Structure 1
Amino acid sequence: MRWLRALWVLPGLFALYAFLATVLAVTPGRVVQVDGTGSVEIRLVRSPIHYDFLLPLNDTTRTAFGFVTEDGVPLDHPAATWLLVGWGARDFYTVTGDYGDVSLRATVKGALGDASVLRFDAWGPLPDSFETRSLTMSEGQFEALIAAIRADLLRPDAPIPVPTAGLSETDAFYQAVDRFHLFRTCNTWISRKLRMAGIRMGVWTPLPWSIRLSYSLWQAPG
């Protein structure tokens, strides 16, 4: 029967996807050349299935993303030192709770194609035991990264918030450009934004494993 044959094909497709997610993670993608001096440290922070940026809260960050304070993100709180930024599928990413609360519909929609959103949250100092991946760039590269992220807002001049309870008490979501699907994931977004800022990463990094591999090859300290 056709559906039985399809069941046999699926494992092969998953294996091919994982293989390409590994090979292309160690294949360098095109990097935009960005000049600049100085030194800025950012972090990559991992959740169970994807990575987010942690950007230092400085004058550049607060100026570029100050609009989020209108929707409850406390950038000006005395304890706020980092801005978390992530990109993902609207239905899947904005679910309140943990991944067990995500519906099958949202999962399938995300895999096949869904509208995208950007998430912002303010974090305080990171505990010493908190695991992140550090990445140092020039001030020019940092400004290029900020510009690349802002360009992904659906309306950068007047960002459109997405009504949702959020994943924390202090985050906010905004409509973004591009559609999310299996071949354009939150993890490919991370590496694409880094390459646009002059940072070497793999050409296609759809899985957390892909980001870790690409980072370890080109960006790991030492």
Structure 2
Amino acid sequence: MVQSNGVHTALVLPLVTPERDWRPVFPADEVALSGEPYTHLAISWGERQVFLETPTWWDLSPMTVLRIAGIGGDGLLHVEHYVRPAPADDLRPLRLTHAEYARLVAEIDRVVPQGQRVSYPGYGDQDVFYETGGHYTVRNTCNQWTSNTLASAGVKTGWWTPMAGGVMKWVPDSAE
């Protein structure tokens, strides 16, 4: 599935498939509410300072926006754990073949922290942030990461999708 809050997008993936068991990669014991029967993960990439210092979009300072627009910032991975998420306007299902999904997994693996991991508490009890690579810029946004990751799997997307709407326009509405 592809998720959007109107500003930021994420990929929502089954926790276990033949192509990948995400449990050892992103263990539930790394979130505060670790005892739930999680079935899915939402994985997204974004700018470190925005993720860690902006709990709501109303907390985003103009200075942070100007800094990102000018020089960018370090990338950070955000992982949320879900129990049976249901399709909705902001959470659209996307069908991939096994081969497409394997390519999607391989692309995500490129940003998964290796070795000693540095993590930070998330916004709530079911999410966590991880240090990762990449440099966030106006040309390489969180939504562009989602779009590029989908494109690596063979999903048709726009060539530049800095905004959430630019990603979501390529994902059919769940009602269609």
Residue matched to 1:136: 95
SS at the partner of 2:11?
A: strand
Deviation at 1:105, TM superposition (A): 3.3
Aligned-partner residue type, residue 47 of structure 1: N
Q: Show the 5 A alignment for 1:66-85.
A: 66-69=24-27, 72-73=30-31, 77=35, 79-85=37-43
Residue matched to 2:166: 210
Deviation at 1:220, TM superposition (A): 7.6
Aligned-partner residue type, residue 146 of structure 1: V
- Residues 85 and 120 in structure 1, CA contact (< 8 A), matched pair in contact too: yes
| 146, 150, 163: which one aligns with 1:194 | 150
Gaps of 5+ in 2: none
Deviation at 1:202, TM superposition (A): 1.3
Gaps of 5+ in 1: 1-42
Residue matched to 2:53: 95
Deviation at 1:120, TM superposition (A): 0.7
- Residues 100 and 154 in structure 2, CA contact (< 8 A), matched pair in contact too: yes
Looking at structure 2, the residues matched to 71 and 62 of structure 1 have their Cα atoms a distance apart, in angstroms, of 19
The structure-2 alpha-carbon separation of the partners of 1:196 and 1:221, relative to structure 1 and needing over 3 Å to count, comes to farther
Residue matched to 2:78: 119
Aligned-partner residue type, residue 68 of structure 1: F
Give a deviation string over 1:67-96, Cα, whole Å, max 9, x none. 322762489855312101011000002235
The structure-2 alpha-carbon separation of the partners of 1:60 and 1:120, relative to structure 1 and needing over 3 Å to count, comes to farther
Residue matched to 2:111: 152
Q: Which structure has the larger Rg?
A: 1
Instruction: Give the number of the structure whose residues are more often helix, by fraction.
Output: 1
- Residues 10 and 43 in structure 2, CA contact (< 8 A), matched pair in contact too: yes
- Number of residue pairs the alignment of both structures matches: 175
Task: Please say which of residues 55-64 and 197-206 is displaced more in the overlay.
Answer: 55-64
Deviation at 1:208, TM superposition (A): 1.6
**TM-score w.r.t. length of structure 2:** 0.83
SS at the partner of 1:63?
A: coil
**TM-score w.r.t. length of structure 1:** 0.68
Deviation at 1:124, TM superposition (A): 1.0
Q: What RMSD, in angstroms, separates the aligned Cα atoms of the two structures?
A: 2.8
Aligned-partner residue type, residue 88 of structure 1: G
- Residues 74 and 122 in structure 1, CA contact (< 8 A), matched pair in contact too: no
